[in-house]
């Protein structure tokens, strides 16, 4: 499979003013979106574009992958 979508996803989250809150369980981090007011997990190695787009949806952002 291809490389991880996580670095590009994190760049998009930061550009949208989403904030890293804390490390989560396992290989996840917890982020907060000021757009939706929701906290959501982000995996360290997202391999699926569908998962990456689901994270963007939780953050209130349009699909990017």
Q: How far apart are CA 65 and CA 52, in angstroms?
A: 7
For the entire predicted model, the pTM comes to 0.90
Render pLDDT for 20-63 as a digit per residue (tens, 0 to 9). Answer: 999 999 999 999 999 999 999 999 999 999 999 999 999 999 99
Q: How far apart, in Å, are the Cα atoms of 31 and each of 1, 2, 10? A: 26, 24, 10
Residue 1 has pLDDT above 70, yes or no: no
Domains (range + CATH), the chain: 6-58 (3.30.920)
CA distance 33 to 40: 8
């Amino acid at each position: 499979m291809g490389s991880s979508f996580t670095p590009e996803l994190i760049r998009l989250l930061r550009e949208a003013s989403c904030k890293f809150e804390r490390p989560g369980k396992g290989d996840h981090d917890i982020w907060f979106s000021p757009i939706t007011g929701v906290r959501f997990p982000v995996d360290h190695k997202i391999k699926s574009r569908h998962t990456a787009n689901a994270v963007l949806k939780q953050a209130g952002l349009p699909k990017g992958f």
